[in-house]
Amino acid sequence: MIRVRFAPSPTGFLHLGNIRTALFNYLFVKRQNGKFILRVEDTDRERSKPEFRQGLMEDMLWMGIRWDEGPEVGGDFGPYLQSERLPIYQKHIDKLISEGKAYYCYVTEEETEELKRLAKLERRPPRFDNRGRYFSKEEIESRKARGIKPTVRFKIENPQLKMHDLIRGDVSFNLDEMVGDFVIQRADGQPTFHLAVCIDDGLMQVTHVIRGEDHLSNTPKHILLLRAMGFEPPQYGHLSLIHGPGGEPLSKRLGDVSVKEFRRKGYLPHGLANYIALLGWAPGDNREIFKWEELMQAFDLARVNKSASIYDPHKLDWVNGEHLRALSDEDFSRFALTYLKEQKLLKHDESILHKILPIFKDNIERFDQLADRLEILNENLHYESKDLIQSEEGREVCKTALEILPTITDVGEAIYENLIQALKPRVKAKGKHLFMPLRIAITGKVHGPELKRLFPVFGIEGVKKRLERALNL
């Protein structure tokens, strides 16, 4: 069975690069009827926070990405928090040392930094020269006496390595040029990322690892380490990074590309997932809009490209807008109300919101744009162009409309249509000079949804009150 994992660190908010990795893993494995594992890499004691862990799980569930194994779900290969797996890591470290595949290294951090500095000056790769492997017993005892705490380093014995990347094809590595013996346990006893990820992938029987290309240089280390511990390495696929609109690297520190921020702005979860899927993947036809089920059926790792993806917020808005317009009026109102409640923007009675929200479906791209649109429900309107009401022509339109309204017995959009038909022969104003004073008087705004759709929401009495208020400015 195909098994993939998403292994975030709970040191901040879930950002665009993270969630794309999670999404691609999820789409890939679901099409293969495999298992999706959530594993939390929380061994960074200073930066890992429980609230970040909870937040990333909530964001994933909001997006529709549900894990088959992991925190709060369980599974046969737990625990799924690395902080709870430290005894497992220590057992494998001890075994590697006893088999002569790793060793205690008494080279200090200052010495390794000096090696890096010299390499930089000489324009060489910052490769560790393995000196700690060859220290004499006397040298080791001397360093122990000075209070130096050892790291544990893995021995690189086979520096030439080839692998087939699921996205990039055949890749060759020469570890002699890249890295020497590398640290698998820090001096404070904490396992490094390299060790923990390999043990976890091996024990959890992960078959495919899909991650960012920033991990490509780590892959030869991981393959050698996995083999040394007796595990069959998974197949690897490395996704190109996402760049900003100007081609600049997209920093994970930027709050405006976190899932938390996308939620605050009011994107639909399936709209956001649709857009993110297009960052590096193409379906092979001209389709750009996909429902969740369609994404899972269409996604193919073979169609993920090697070039960098460009994050385009305008394209995201367009994709989300398409998904909004595809919703039924009932679903649109439900999603919109949920958003307004979550963001504490619910300022009007839900009964009237249910009536008016679908009116905005065709002219918004995100739910955060509703706050401005819903100002037309306020009792005290802000009038964008008072002069259109206060002119002689505008006042005549509003006064005559007030006289006609009590004679109208129709309901729904027919209220507006019959008002206009009765109004036209009784006033001098024509075209926008007829319609605009009514729009300003009733909504306060120059632009907005069709008045014929608003009249049933306000009712004849509501429209009368708004006309009277406008005439009393």
Per-residue pLDDT of 330-352, as tens digits, reads 999 999 999 999 999 998 889 88
The residue that leads in pLDDT, 92 or 473, is 92
| Backbone phi and psi for residue 410, each to the nearest 5 degrees, phi listed first | -75, 170
| Backbone phi and psi for residue 105, each to the nearest 5 degrees, phi listed first | -115, 120
> 344 with 231, same domain?
no
> 216 with 358, same domain?
no
> 404 with 465, same domain?
yes
Last residue of a domain, one of 239, 263, 294: 239
Spatial contact of 211 and 235, defined as CB atoms under 8 Å apart? no
The answer to whether position 45 is within a domain reads no
Q: What are the structure tokens assigned to 39, written together?
A: 């594993």
Q: Spell out the residues 6+ positions from residue 66 whose beta carbon is closer than 8 angstroms to its own.
A: 36, 60
β partners of residue 164: 170
Helix (H, G, I), strand (E, B) or coil at 153: strand
Helix (H, G, I), strand (E, B) or coil at 31: helix
Give the orientation angle of helix 392-404 with respect to helix 432-443, to 10 degrees.
70
> 207 with 166, same domain?
yes
The answer to whether position 29 is within a domain reads no
| Backbone phi and psi for residue 255, each to the nearest 5 degrees, phi listed first | -65, -25
pTM of the model: 0.90
Distance CA 367, CA 349 (A): 18
Q: What are the structure tokens assigned to 16, written together?
A: 């665009």
What torsion do the CA atoms of 72, 74, 78, 82 make, to the nearest 10 degrees?
Answer: -20
The answer to whether position 263 is within a domain reads no
What pLDDT does 427 receive? 82
Spatial contact of 19 and 260, defined as CB atoms under 8 Å apart? no
> 366 with 407, same domain?
no
Cis peptide before 358 (omega within 30 of 0): no
The residue that leads in pLDDT, 445 or 60, is 60
Last residue of a domain, one of 239, 258, 285: 239
Task: Write down the H helix ranges in 64-174.
Answer: 86-98, 109-121, 137-145
> 98 with 185, same domain?
yes
Active site residue 162: no
> 354 with 397, same domain?
no
What pLDDT does 251 receive? 64
Last residue of a domain, one of 185, 213, 239: 239
β partners of residue 281: 304
> 344 with 393, same domain?
no
In the predicted model, what is the mean pLDDT of the chain? 91
Q: Which of the following is catalytic: 155, 252, 452, 464? A: 252
Mean pLDDT of 185-204: 96
Q: What are the structure tokens assigned to 279, written together?
A: 């960052």
Q: Which CATH number characterizes residue 419's domain?
A: 1.10.10.350
> 100 with 197, same domain?
yes
If pLDDT is split at 50, 70 and 90, which confidence band does 188 have?
very high
The answer to whether position 205 is within a domain reads yes
What pLDDT does 321 receive? 97
pLDDT at 20 over 70: yes
> 95 with 221, same domain?
yes
Number of domains composing the chain: 3
| Backbone phi and psi for residue 3, each to the nearest 5 degrees, phi listed first | -130, 125
Domain that holds residue 360: 329-374
The answer to whether position 383 is within a domain reads yes
> 405 with 356, same domain?
no
Q: Is 387 exposed, middle or buried (0-12, 13-18, 19+ CB in 10 A)?
A: exposed
> 200 with 100, same domain?
yes
